[in-house]
Structure formats: C-alpha cells, structure tokens
Structure 1
C-alpha cells in the first residue's frame, strides 16, 4: 500500500506547489511596476505576454516572457524532484511528475488565486512544460507557431494551432524516445497523451474570443507598436 499513498501525496504536493507558482502573474506584476496599471484593463484585457508587449512596452514584455517561461520550468523540476523522492526512479511513476506540475502551473497561470482567478492564456508556460517533457516537443510545436505567426501576423492563430497540435508531438516523441526503448509502458503513453489533450483543450478554449475575431476578420495583427 506504500505506492498508492506516496503517489497520492506526490500528486497533491506537486499540484498545489505548481498551481501556486503558476498563480504568480508576472504580466500583472511587471505592468504595474512599469506602467502603474493593471494589464487586464489594457489592450485586449489578457494578462499575457503579447498584450504586455503591445500595450505596456518592451521592458515589461520581455520580463513577462522570461518569468512566465521560467515558472513552468521550475514547477516541472520541483514536480520531478517530489515524485522521485516519494516514488523512486526505478519505475515510470516518477515521470508523471512533469505532467502533474506542467498542467497545474498552466492552470494556475490561467486562473491565479492571487489575482482573482483572472489570468492569461497559458501559452508561454505551456511552452516551458513542453520543453521539460523533451526539447523536440517544444521545437516542433514552436515551429508550427512561428511559421503561422510570421506568415499571417496573427499570434493568436499560431497559438491556437500550436496548442491543438502539441498532444501529437508529445505522443510522437514519447513513443520514439521512451516507449520504443522500453522505458515506459503503453499505459504511460495513453495517460500522458490524454493529459496533454486535456491541457490542449484548456489552452484552445482560452482563445475563444480570438477564434471568434479570426473568423469574423476583426482580430488585430501583431506589431511591437506601443499603444498607451
């Protein structure tokens, strides 16, 4: 019975810590620091990197980018450490730490307890989670985003398509790197792919307003013009 108890403890501890880290909304913090305003009342109203760059300027935008990315990395490292400490590394169970941490930190970013549950869309923090699964997952997904964003100038379009496709990249590279080598089981592949689909649905769902504007042709194209 030791594994079930330790597994539950690892999941709860990782989820709580990662959610709280995710709830630190750096877009709100840095915009208030530099502009003395709440980013949620500016531009698109989204507490995210694109809106900060567009409406608050380069400095808060760059800082938001760095720290939103780093909180995902830190959360996944903590999750892996907790799962390894409580479950050991002799089985595949410790690998779930990255997924529990990654999902929890992104949900914290979207629904931050410290800021009235009004956060961002989770794109950057999701990107850091994908990096921690294995770098090629992020490389392929970022390529999808970058190609679409550069061709269309719609960051939201690139974000939505990248969010919709990252479960495939996660499955593909887990299969190539871990399943084929016997490091993980088919059950692990199924569970982690379902977890990625769950997160993908949340990230795409957070872009519902952007999707509507894209359909109606009213979505703003991205530029670094600083709108005060």
Structure 2
C-alpha cells in the first residue's frame, strides 16, 4: 500500500470520527425533556442526560423516544463512515490509483471510528457544555454495528442481569467491563486464528472496546459506589 492510499485511509477515518462525534452530541434526553417539560433533564433526578433518567423523571414515551434517537444517531454515523470510506477510494480526484479498494477490515475500522466517536460525543457533547449522558445506548448501537457476535454476548449478559436485579446500572457496568473480554475472545479465536484476519484489526477492535468500556465505567463510578454500598435502586418509571 502506497503513501497516498494510507493518507486516504487516515483522512476517511478522521472524517468519520468527526461526523460521529458531532452526531453523538445531539442529546435526545435533553431535547425531549425541554419539549415535554420545558426543563433541563440534567437538573432532575440523577442529573444524567440519558434514557434511564428520562424514564424516571419524565415518562415512558419520552424515554422510548430517547432510546430510539440515541441509537439511530450512531446508526447514521456508522453508515456515513462506510459511504465516506468507499467514496474516498472510488473518487479519482482523491485517489488516482485504482489498485486499492477498502477491505472488509478497513470498512469495519471506519465503523469503530465513527461509533466510538459517537459515544464520546454523547458523553461530552460540544452543544451542551460537554455535559451529556453515560453512553450506554450509543455504545450498544456501536457494538451492534461493529460486531453482531459481540453484541449478542453483551445483550444476553445485560438481559440476564436486568431480569435478575432490575438495576440498569448493574447490567450496564457489567457489560462495559465484559465488552473488551468478549471482543478479544471472538475476534482472536474466530477472526484472527480461524479466518486469518490481520493483527492490526485485532488490535484495533480490542483497543476500541477497551476505550469505550473504560469510558462507560468511568462515567458510572458514582453508580458503582452505590452498588457496592447496596444503595442503587431498581428501575421504576413514570407513566
């Protein structure tokens, strides 16, 4: 691969990440609460600009719409990353040589870049003074769009824990901690060892999962403290 192709790849990843961050910053918990109650969700309940606090403080329908909005913004970011990567390689004004095309690994790395940036944008939105949510729904969307096998493992873990204890934060922090573990096991044992995927793809997938998992855990440190003290309450929504 020549330097021009490498530059195109880096540029496509950077553009995908920037778009992902800007889309991630659109916080539907804040928007919908202002529409419904003319209040800032960050001044209510737990103070978190996310679906769970909307459910507790505003109601079920706004919480459902918040979930849909936060999930779809990551879907849009990831889809755009695929269009950008393909366009950069197909446009003769950008890449003069027709010898290179984006591989499946490159396209998936673009998904990781856009998805992870969307999670960062959700947590630290430039539009709202960098005070956003905790990134659970955006992270779930990112996982679903980057590796469905990991998503199935994560969502099964979340579902079992939530059915057992009815505490979203417990299920969330457990999944955040296990996300890089699931990613390593699946990508290493299946993609790397069985299918011969390149090592840089393995490192990218595991590195991004470690970053996103750690970020979600850091944002849940207060919840972790309450869980350890037995003070975290099960989910109870308003009608």
* 1:136 alignment counterpart: 149
Structure 2 unaligned runs (5+)?
90-100
- 1:130, CA displacement in angstroms? 0.7
| Larger Rg over CA atoms | 2
Distance across 1 between alignment mates of 2:160 and 2:209: 22
How do 1:10-89 residues align onto structure 2 when only pairs under 5 Å count? 10-87=12-89, 88-89=101-102
Which of residues 173, 187, 211 in structure 2 aligns to 1:198? 211
Q: Which residue of 2 aligns with 1:101?
A: 114
Residue 32 and residue 91 in structure 1: after superposition, are their counterparts in 2 closer, same or farther (change >3 A)?
closer
C-alpha RMSD of the superposition: 1.6
Distance in 2 between residues matched to 1:191 and 1:8, nearest whole Å: 14
Gaps of 5+ in 1: none
Cα distance in 1 between the residues matched to 2:189 and 2:146: 13
- In the alignment, what sits opposite 1:5? 7
TM-score normalised over the length of structure 2: 0.89
**After TM superposition, which residue ranges in structure 1, 4 or more long, deviate above 4 angstroms?**
none
**Distance change >3 Å, CA 54–CA 8, structure 1 → 2:** same
Give the superposition deviation at 1:95: 2.3
Distance, in Å, in 1 between the alignment partners of 2:78 and 2:222 is 29
Indicate how the Cα distance of structure 1 residues 68 and 90 shifts in structure 2: closer, same or farther if over 3 A, else same.
closer
Residues 83, 96 of structure 1: 8 Å contact kept: no
SS class of match (1:43): coil
